[in-house]
Amino acid sequence: MVKKNGTINYRKLLSTIKPLEKELLEHYREYFDNDVLNSEGRKIFEQIIRICLSNNLPVKKLVDKVRRKPTYDNVLKFLNILDEIVRQLSE
């Protein structure tokens, strides 16, 4: 995701995160129990977080909130905000 000159390729970053987001949201019954992330859902969510934090995206506070209360609404809010952050940074 990081170019040779040290900058981040946000389009590539988004293309890496999007399939994980899609998997998580399209397979709701597989990854959420009673509207809360289950262990399999957390694995995918943690992959997204790992990618974000390794690319120094400003999402630490949001990550902490979702980790404390991993409801579907909080996950969805996080993913929407993450998309917005990446889009803004790519402009």
In a domain, 36, yes or no: yes
Is residue 80 a part of any domain in this protein? Answer: yes
From residue 18, alpha-carbon distances to 4, 14, 29, 76, 85 in Å are: 23, 6, 19, 13, 13
* Cα separation, 52 vs 63, whole angstroms: 10
The Cβ-side half-sphere exposure at 4, using a 13 Å CA radius, reads: 0
Domain count, the chain: 1
Domain that holds residue 27: 10-90
Domain membership of residue 72 (yes or no) is yes
CA gap 41, 50 in Å, rounded: 14
User: Tens digit of pLDDT per residue, the chain (91 long)?
Assistant: 544 444 667 778 888 999 999 999 999 999 999 999 999 999 999 999 999 988 888 899 999 999 999 999 999 999 999 989 888 887 7
2 within a domain of the structure (yes/no) = no
1 domain residue, yes or no: no
DSSP-based three-state secondary structure for 58: coil
